[in-house]
Structure 1
Amino acid sequence: MGENITETKMNTVYALAFGSIMALGLPLNAVSLWIFLRCHSLRSPTAIFMVNLAISDLLLVISLPMRVYFYATGTWPLSRMACIWITMLFRNNIRSSSIFITFISVDRLLAVVYPLRSRHLRTSSSAWKAAALVWLIVSVVNIPESVDFKRFLNNLTESSCFEFSQPHRSPIAFFQPVLVFTLLAVNIVCTALVSWTIHRHLSESARIINKVNVMLIFVMNLMMFTVFFLPLSLFIFFKEWKSAISPLVCLASVNCCLDPLLYYFSFDGFWKKKEDVDISLARE
């Protein structure tokens, strides 16, 4: 009896948490995407990656109402296939967000450390091709995952969703932790190289505010990985974390509310009009 009351209270907390994330994430990312598409020509690779990051966050947000319903009522009204695809939307957000955040870090690295030699790489065409490749890879990985997930759900006697541990350690299950670990390493290297370059030339430039903004991007990117992406990705390696899956999913979902801070405070041209951004790009 006590366990049921505790479970009911925790489900209420999860419903409120996911509802709050949805209430914040939807307007923040929708407004961010509108500003990018309405006020920018999207010639900057960073802007293109941020647009795709906002799309990834919106895809996560639209999956949250069913999580709120499930935890609020304790029932799953839709099919198991719907459960699979909503779960895939969440996993795709972790993967695509981590990749696009890393692309932003690499783009800033090239702009700061190799500004002249990287001009032919840092083009809008290359950025859109990279973004398309990311979505393709993420979608392809969903195919074996969905098959694996469906097999697991078919073995359940009750109609449920979300409240389950990793079905089994199939090879595809290690894709996300390997991806997150690899991208975290890339972000750490990028942060170290850019920090070293900025400090080396600190006295040679008066644009100290821009330097602070550049480092802010890297600090926020590392925070995204260590606080939101890494804990959930480590779940597969620790069986004793089985009871922590829902809190970890809830924590990871918060990233969609914080990504807009990356746009507002770190992207130098976010609040500029399209014409101003075009002029600044022409001067780079």
Structure 2
Amino acid sequence: MPNSSQIYCNTTLEFRHTLYAIVYTIIFIPGLLANSIALWLLRGFINRKNKAIIFLINLAFADLSHVLSLPLRIYYYINHSWPFGNFLCLLCFYLKYLNMYASIVFLTLISVQRYIFTANPFKAKGWKRRYDAAISIGVWIVVGGACLPFPIYRSSGMNSTSTSCFVDLGNRQMNPMSVVIMMVGAEMTGFFIPLVIVTYCTLKTRAEIKSDSLRCENMKEKLKALRMLLTCASVFFICFTPYHISFFFYVMVNANIIHNCAVQKVILNLHPFSLSLASFNCCLNPILYYFTASEFQNELARCSSSVVRVRLMSKDSVSSIR
């Protein structure tokens, strides 16, 4: 993101291409396999009474959409050239932020639903699957519209002959005060409020389990809910918290609001690492499915045993022919 302040401070960020190429290469195969398998197995639970299954499917779909765009990102960061056109560049750029904020919202919804149904089991009995489906459609509409400013803001200077994309895109000029207002609003609604909600649900569920430990009523289900909430909170703190802290200051630097050279260099050099860390949510979210859903574990074990049986039968048939 070139601007006058970076040139004045003589800040070089050439390492970003290598860093992003390595990180996205590491993420691609595990993310593709984990989320493809998750979607394949989770689809079988739609008609069951498993809570939050619709949100989990949407979460896996959001991760897979971003993972599928990674080969194009890897190509660009290795070759330093984008031959695929402006639309595909902005689409891949858009998918990254769509994945991030859709993941944040669905993780928040999973946390809220688990907390409410654990604290009030009778509400779970009356909750319809179509409610989750309607909420999910609303999430995609709202988050999809809210993420549109990201590619629009970064599309400055693009033309039919442009070979730059992603990190090398320019910024549209905006009033510094407008940038601050937009950033505060985005950080509050897109990250801080969901983080507070997830943290609250996790702490309240943990406190209720401690207070109910002597009665042991539905303790197995409550512990399962707590594991899911802890996993959601872990993804928030590991992947999204460093990015949103650094991104706020990163935009301040690029809007020429922060002028101190030493501070600029620290912010500009830390931001690529926080952005890379945020992308690992595509690999961490599948852990949520496996370690918190006993049905998912059973289905995965059943499929694995079926594959083993098929292989053994094929070997036996070959041996008998011989």
TM-score by length of 1: 0.83
Residue 229 of structure 1 aligns with an amino acid whose one-letter code is F
* Deviation by residue 1:155-196 (Cα, 9 ceiling, x = unmatched): 9x9632222589352755555422210100001111121111
Give the RMSD, CA atoms, in angstroms: 2.7
Distance 1:210 1:115, change over 3 A: closer
Residue 163 of structure 2 aligns with an amino acid whose one-letter code is S
2:216 to 183, 187, 205: 205
Paired residue secondary structure (1:86): helix
Residue 289 of structure 2 aligns with an amino acid whose one-letter code is Y
Q: Distance in 1 between matches of 2:31 and 2:281?
A: 9
State the shift of 1:271 in Å.
3.2
* Deviation by residue 1:101-123 (Cα, 9 ceiling, x = unmatched): 11111111111111114543x32
In structure 1, stretches of 5+ residues that fail to align are 274-284
Q: Distance in 2 between matches of 1:146 and 1:15?
A: 21
- Equivalent pairs: percent with the same residue? 26
Counterpart of 2:303 in structure 1 is none
Distance 1:248 1:164, change over 3 A: farther
* Deviation by residue 1:209-252 (Cα, 9 ceiling, x = unmatched): 54433222122111111121122222342133223333222111
Residue 27 of structure 1 aligns with an amino acid whose one-letter code is L
Counterpart of 1:154 in structure 2 is 158
Counterpart of 2:18 in structure 1 is 12
Bigger CA radius of gyration: 2
Counterpart of 1:276 in structure 2 is none
Which deviates more from structure 2 when the two are superposed, residues 46-55 or residues 109-118?
109-118
Q: Distance in 2 between matches of 1:176 and 1:6?
A: 26
Residue 33 of structure 2 aligns with an amino acid whose one-letter code is P
Q: Distance in 1 between matches of 2:39 and 2:195?
A: 25
Counterpart of 1:21 in structure 2 is 27
Counterpart of 2:128 in structure 1 is 123
Whether contact under 8 Å (1:232, 1:248) holds in the other structure is: yes
Whether contact under 8 Å (1:11, 1:71) holds in the other structure is: yes
Counterpart of 1:227 in structure 2 is 238
State the shift of 1:42 in Å.
5.0
Distance 1:257 1:247, change over 3 A: same
Counterpart of 1:278 in structure 2 is none
Counterpart of 1:102 in structure 2 is 108
Counterpart of 1:277 in structure 2 is none
- Within 5 Å, which residues of 2 pair with 1:1-284? 7=14, 11-41=17-47, 43-117=49-123, 119-120=125-126, 122-150=127-155, 152-154=156-158, 159-164=163-168, 167=171, 169=179, 171-178=181-188, 179-205=190-216, 208-238=219-249, 239=253, 240=264, 241-272=267-298
State the shift of 1:93 in Å.
0.8
State the shift of 1:43 in Å.
4.2
Whether contact under 8 Å (1:95, 1:176) holds in the other structure is: no
Distance 1:202 1:14, change over 3 A: same
Counterpart of 1:279 in structure 2 is none
State the shift of 1:63 in Å.
1.2
TM-score by length of 2: 0.74
Distance 1:166 1:221, change over 3 A: farther
Residue 28 of structure 2 aligns with an amino acid whose one-letter code is M
Which deviates more from structure 2 when the two are superposed, residues 98-107 or residues 36-45?
36-45
Whether contact under 8 Å (1:28, 1:257) holds in the other structure is: yes
